[in-house]
Chains A and B, each alone.
Chain A
């Protein structure tokens, strides 16, 4: 009986994930939230199915009642997030809420399989962050003076990063964490949001050369402190986010191209200057010749993905324990090993559908400040996904960032909750604007592919 449950759920969970992901993009066929309602409800069904199937196979293998308990608590928690958003913010974007819950679900399944205690810890952080950030959409849509704190954002960002550099402990060669009374934080995650607000407030109204220079200096200080802390992943994210925002604010293609130029120059300089960058690049170019040291992580990750194949080994049937830092940076490899590459690809697409929705929201804004905030957060989110997944599958060198909502790590989860809540607030705020001004109906999906969200 147990065997049949494991094998059936192994295949059905992939089907559920595929349908869910398909629906993430199917919603863009309809131009308003009302028509999408049916899809959202079906998404909720498949989300619950994935959670259920994941845990029933864990339970069938281990025959331990604790998995049943964990399942109940987690399922109730996730449903509570869904219901809370529906009740408190009926005008919230349900795709973003659904995707947030789905990513949390997948993360919790995988973490429970890797380490029960870590999963429970992660769950409590998820629950607390989701509950606390429930107030954020309200703040964003009501408070009007976020733009005014320009220099406060800049100061807060730079000071926190500098504090990390000065007081943190070195873990795996990088200075990332600050520990206060046994709680470890990774401030660079929070500063990501603050930095987006800082850049948006500087560039929102003025685009003259002086303003651009000021914003560039601010960005450069952030990036350089991160480079000094050897937090390469974050440095690259800040860099890309800044150039994306600069380009949208000024509409100057020159800035966009110079971003690429700076990027290459920066990568080259990093490679020449830092031995840890060279180690990463060597590991990327040929992990198998350096398998005993530099290439070990990435080789183990590729073994996991390759052995899992398209359909995966089944939850609890693989050996993700062989991969270093599997719960955090390499969670995607564990997902591919046990749930299959098809599932992994769906996960990537799911993240991308969040990004498309974020970008749609950015497009709808006339207010340049909020437009830039939405854009900055969207780019920072999707680029982080790209860095972690690309690194784990050896598409690009490893940078050691987490997969938002899925990876183990309190700061990462809390910050991602905050990002999603801010976007949700922007979406609701946009809805209010629309009602007042009655902007004509947005362009149809077929004619303008990305201009698809209409709030009516």
Chain B
């Protein structure tokens, strides 16, 4: 063998040599194509499941002709949406809880909304046993789509729904340790079973907008609940040490020509920092705001996710604030007490509250916990994910203490009496028109037994006082959780 190699002409050796280059090029392309195939496989198996749920994917009707749309279930396994067959062999979508889960579960019969939209194609995907699938295909029988398990708690949802009664507004709750959305109510509501019949009336009703999910898409002036942000900013600028703050409230505060009055023209007297927060004293907070650094406040608002999309898997409105270094003193004072031009959605307020309750850590809110095929095999499981440290943990203890004080000794005294757990929070009564007697009632807070577990945000449109109207609604939701 060796002797033959030695005799190889020079030309031949050269040929072998340049074939090494050709081999190398072949291997480079082999590597590229292996990567491409792995990517395509990963896309098909994993990524595509979320990608295809986009509303721009126009294949719903096509799939519905072949697959029975899957069920949507609550965290306990109650059926929130299912597909039934009628007498003529057709199918229809049934929402057993009718109006209670209207916005959050949504509908799929006339466009898509809610979880029905979020997992539109998951519900129309069939990941069942392949033999069964093929045999169903051959028999011309429809396959059953995957089922979607949500994080929604039926008892809390019902409690919030009943507590809101026929008031307009929203209630939304989440687990501060996991980010699971436990309930989400928006009023006025509708019956998703009958969306077809009322479509035009609902759409034309721009006054009540019953199809709008206020919990995620509502945009409201935050009112006194914004004092959480103002207080945080003041704490930051004083490195957490506010014990030497004091203010004599005479019912109003005047600074450089701007006048801020307390709610219902109350006179609060001598207040320290925590008292100012607990009593929600506008005069004191205007005084606090007047001392804030506008640029720092702008940074804090930015870190609290104002003026940008929230880390949410579903549609939501973006929090608005226009504070910058060029803002006028009046704007700064108005913003500091939660009036001004600031706007926030209930879910955004809930996220800030739950970050405070969870020592500054914001968990990424989610509403779908797992996907199962029709044979109960788990296809996809969503695990709690930390989004970011929203608030520096050295300020959260101070904020928690102040929010507890609101309930013990402040504007939310009505919800002090609780069984086996305690509430902390902040009320708000946000004026929204030139008529000062009209205001949205806010309550945002959390409940703890040993440590903070769940947060709830309530807004009642035109409800008046947050402490009197919104806080008791929140308490009923907490009660449903701890019962």
Task: Identify the A interface with B (CB < 8 A).
Answer: 3-4, 7-8, 10-11, 244, 247-249, 251, 256, 288, 291, 296, 299-300, 302-303, 305-307, 309-310, 313, 317-319, 322, 341, 344-345, 348-349, 352, 355-356, 359, 362-363, 365-366, 368, 371, 375, 379, 382-383, 386, 389-390, 393-395, 440, 450-451
- Chain A residues lying within 8 Å of B58, measured Cβ to Cβ, are 319, 322
Partner of A3, one of B35, B44, B45, B140: B140
- The verdict on A393 contacting B40 (CB below 8 Å), with A7-B134, A7-B137, A307-B52 known, is yes
Pick the interface stretch among B15-23, B205-213, B461-469: B15-23
Partner of B18, one of A352, A371, A383: A371
B199 interface residue per 8 A CB criterion? no
* Interchain CB contact under 8 A, A303 and B29: no
B130 — nearest CB in chain A belongs to which residue? A311
B312 interface residue per 8 A CB criterion? no
* Interchain CB contact under 8 A, A248 and B25: yes
The proximity string for B residues 5-31 relative to A, scoring 1 for CB distances below 8 Å and 0 otherwise, is 000000110010111111111100110
Question: What is the bound-complex CA distance between A276 and B125, given in angstroms?
Answer: 36
Residue pairs across A and B with Cβ atoms less than 8 A apart, 13 shown, are A251-B18, A256-B24, A305-B44, A306-B49, A306-B121, A307-B63, A309-B48, A319-B59, A348-B36, A371-B18, A379-B25, A395-B40, A451-B23
* Interchain CB contact under 8 A, A251 and B17: yes
Partner of B22, one of A288, A362, A383: A362
Question: What is the bound-complex CA distance between A428 and B47, given in angstroms?
Answer: 46
- The verdict on A299 contacting B138 (CB below 8 Å), with A344-B40, A371-B18 known, is no
* Interchain CB contact under 8 A, A288 and B54: yes
Question: What is the bound-complex CA distance between A418 and B31, given in angstroms?
Answer: 27
Task: Identify the B interface with A (CB < 8 A).
Answer: 4, 11-12, 15, 17-26, 29-30, 32-33, 35-37, 39-41, 43-45, 47-49, 51-52, 54, 56-59, 62-63, 66, 121, 125, 134, 137-138, 140
Question: What is the bound-complex CA distance between A355 and B121, given in angstroms?
Answer: 38
List 11 additional A-B contacts (Cβ < 8 Å) besides A345-B40, A348-B33: A7-B137, A247-B25, A248-B21, A302-B43, A305-B48, A317-B62, A319-B59, A319-B62, A352-B29, A365-B15, A366-B11
- The verdict on A302 contacting B48 (CB below 8 Å), with A359-B25, A386-B33, A393-B43 known, is yes
* Interchain CB contact under 8 A, A363 and B29: no
* Interchain CB contact under 8 A, B62 and A318: yes
Q: Which 7 A-B pairs have the closest CB atoms?
A: A306-B48, A303-B57, A306-B52, A7-B137, A248-B21, A341-B44, A363-B19
Q: Which of A256, A296, A300, A302 has the most CB of B within 10 A?
A: A302
* Interchain CB contact under 8 A, B41 and A345: yes
Question: What is the bound-complex CA distance between A450 and B16, given in angstroms?
Answer: 12
Question: What is the bound-complex CA distance between A305 and B30, given in angstroms?
Answer: 23
- Chain B residues lying within 8 Å of A4, measured Cβ to Cβ, are 138, 140
Question: What is the bound-complex CA distance between A317 and B62, given in angstroms?
Answer: 8
Question: What is the bound-complex CA distance between A319 and B20, given in angstroms?
Answer: 46
Partner of A393, one of B11, B24, B36, B45: B36
